[in-house]
Structures are given as C-alpha cells and as structure tokens.
Amino acid sequence: MIKSDKWIKSKCLVPTFVATRLEDKTPFSLTLSAPRTYEEVHYYTHKTSEQLELEIAYGKSDDKGQVMTKLGRLPIRYRELTAEEKTAFKPMISPFEPNQVRRRETWTLYGDRGEVVADVSGDPIIEKVISYGVSSFGYDVQLADEFELFTNVNSAFIDPKNFDKKCLVKMKGNSILIPPNSYILGRTVETFDIPRNVTVVCVGKSTYARCGAIVNVTPIEAGFQGQVVIEISNSASLPLKIYAYEGIAQLLFFESDEECEVSYADRQGKYQNQTGITLAKV
C-alpha cells in the first residue's frame, strides 16, 4: 500500500510521547505536531497530567468504496520519551522537510556559471524554487551541488562491468547546464534509512518533465542506507538548466504487511551506505 504524508512524517520526525491505549494496552507513538493513533487523530479534546483523550475519526468502506466516517473518544496514558529514546530514533529521511517548500529566503542569487548576481545585506530576497519536501503521498528530494557529466572528449566508451571514469567530467555548482541529448549523474541531499518492510519507487517532477528532463532512479530496496544517486538526461534539442538544492524527483513509499526475509543490507548490496556519486559497479 502506498503511504501518505502522515506516515512519512511519523517515520522521520522524532516522537514526543509514548502512549498506551487504556482499553487493550496497545503501545504507539505520538508527536506534538501530528498526534497519532492507529486511526487518524483529528485533535486533542482534553489533557490531564497522565491521561490524554483524543477525538478520532475511523472509516469503514461500503460496497461502493465510500468511507463512512465516525467520531469517537480514545482515552490513553502517555509519557514523554527519554533523551536516550529520542537519540535512538532513526529517521527514514535526513535532513527532513515536513512541508512542501516552494519559496525560500536568500541573501545571494547566482547566475548560470555560479557567479553572484545579487547579494543583499538588508531584507532577504524571496526566491521561487522547484518544490521539495513532503507531498500528499510521497517526498520530493533535493539535488546536491555535485555532478558527473558524460562526455566523449577522452574517446572512452561506457561499460557497466568495467566503468571508465574517463567517460565523466566532475562539476560542482548551484546549477548545471546539460547539453542536448546528454546525461548527468547527481545525488540527493538527503540520506535514507529504509525499513525492512518498505520499498521505494522514484518518479520525475512535472516541471522538469515539461522541459525535456528524464529523471531515472531505480527502486530503493528494503534495508537500504545512504544517499541516492540520480540519473538525469536531457531529451530536448536545447541545453537544459538543472538546479541544486531544489526538488528533482518524488519518492513513493510502499509498505508491506511483513518484513522481507533478506533485506538489501542483509545481502550486502553493492551501493549500501553510499555517499556522494557512486559509479556503476558489479
């Protein structure tokens, strides 16, 4: 089942409380920003020193697939997590942006070649960005500022079993221009720690797709840890500008009702714990 923004936040934001349902003693976690039960929590109703009542909505589908919502109260007991428990929490995505970022404040604007176009010392410039962060049913990752551009200037050829670094030119900056019908490798700003019962699929963002960019990331398997390498090709007949520290692709998370028997970490996947741009290897 594809997972929602609420589930993604629960895997990435450090829980504030550990709570127990009074009826059946079932434990679960809460956060201050999005208190949760196994159902969807709508809001607090009242709170005492050790007991919290939540007003919840729970649904049941009829024969037409429509969800009939009912409201009810759920009494629970709770305690705040200890410092050790908070430290032990391992976020699925780090750094994590719990909102969809479309604009941000900046004091410096850069040109196509990384030169400073505007540098202000007073009020910040409000800059529009290609969105990143949590979406309704996914997470939009940011592209880091290092790139590998495929080139034939060294008369090399591409062999996935014996990859020649002469095929690539390293570049770094706040943006990169991809020549027509060319291809680059990049990586995410974010580092991932995927649970054993989750697999991740990547899709491109509409803004770049409309400009001729094809973003390709193979599935991120259960148990994978590390940054993700992103492949971007320019299918247009004109150079294409790609921006660092802005959204580049959306990840969709699918959770199984059981853990896999052998995870990516268990079989010592060759790209496990990768940082930076890792080239093809067998």
32 plus 161 within the same structural domain: no
pLDDT of residue 18: 61
Task: Judge whether 266 lies within some domain.
Answer: no
Per the structure, the complete domain to which residue 23 belongs is given by 17-80
59 plus 179 within the same structural domain: no
117 plus 235 within the same structural domain: yes
Contact 195, 257 (CB under 8 A): no
Range list of H helices, 113-226: 206-209
- Sorted by sequence, the CB contacts under 8 Å of residue 112 that are 6+ apart come out as 175, 177, 241
pLDDT of residue 79: 62
Domain final residue, candidates 29, 53, 80: 80
Going from the first residue of the chain to its last (282 residues), give the mean pLDDT of each consecutive group of 10, the final group possibly shorter. 90 73 49 35 36 43 45 55 81 94 78 63 80 96 95 83 90 93 95 96 94 91 96 95 96 94 94 93 88
Could you give the number of structural domains in the chain? 2
Range list of H helices, the chain: 5-12, 83-88, 206-209
112 plus 33 within the same structural domain: no
- Sorted by sequence, the CB contacts under 8 Å of residue 145 that are 6+ apart come out as 172, 173, 174, 244, 245
DSSP single-letter state for residue 38: S
72 plus 102 within the same structural domain: no
* pTM for the full predicted model: 0.75
221 assigned to active site: no
> Three-state DSSP class for 143?
strand
Q: 124: closest CA among 107, 102, 139?
A: 107
114 plus 224 within the same structural domain: yes
Q: What proportions of the chain, in percent to the nearest 5, are helix, strand and coil? A: 5, 50, 45
Task: Judge whether 142 lies within some domain.
Answer: yes
Task: Judge whether 10 lies within some domain.
Answer: no
> Three-state DSSP class for 117?
strand
57 plus 163 within the same structural domain: no
Task: Judge whether 87 lies within some domain.
Answer: no
Task: Judge whether 101 lies within some domain.
Answer: yes
Q: Give the domain CATH number at 157.
A: 2.70.40.10
pLDDT of residue 19: 58
Query: What is the C-alpha to C-alpha distance for residues 191 and 97, in angstroms, rounded to an integer?
Result: 12
132 DSSP β-pair partners: 101
188 plus 240 within the same structural domain: yes
- Buried residues in 155-178 as b, exposed as e (16+ CB within 10 A): eeeeeeeeeeeebbeeeebbbbbb
100 plus 214 within the same structural domain: yes
> Is 82 buried (19+), middle (13-18) or exposed (0-12) by CB count in 10 A?
exposed
Task: Judge whether 277 lies within some domain.
Answer: no
Exactly one of 53, 55, 146, 231 is catalytic; name it. 231
142 plus 70 within the same structural domain: no
Maximum Cα interatomic distance, the chain, rounded to a whole number of Å:
73
177 plus 246 within the same structural domain: yes
Contact 178, 184 (CB under 8 A): yes
H-helix or E-strand spanning residue 138: strand 138-142
> Three-state DSSP class for 148?
strand
Task: Judge whether 116 lies within some domain.
Answer: yes
162 plus 111 within the same structural domain: yes
Query: What is the C-alpha to C-alpha distance for residues 9 and 89, in angstroms, rounded to an integer?
Result: 13
Task: Judge whether 260 lies within some domain.
Answer: no
- Sorted by sequence, the CB contacts under 8 Å of residue 215 that are 6+ apart come out as 202, 203, 204, 205, 208, 209, 230, 231, 232, 248, 249
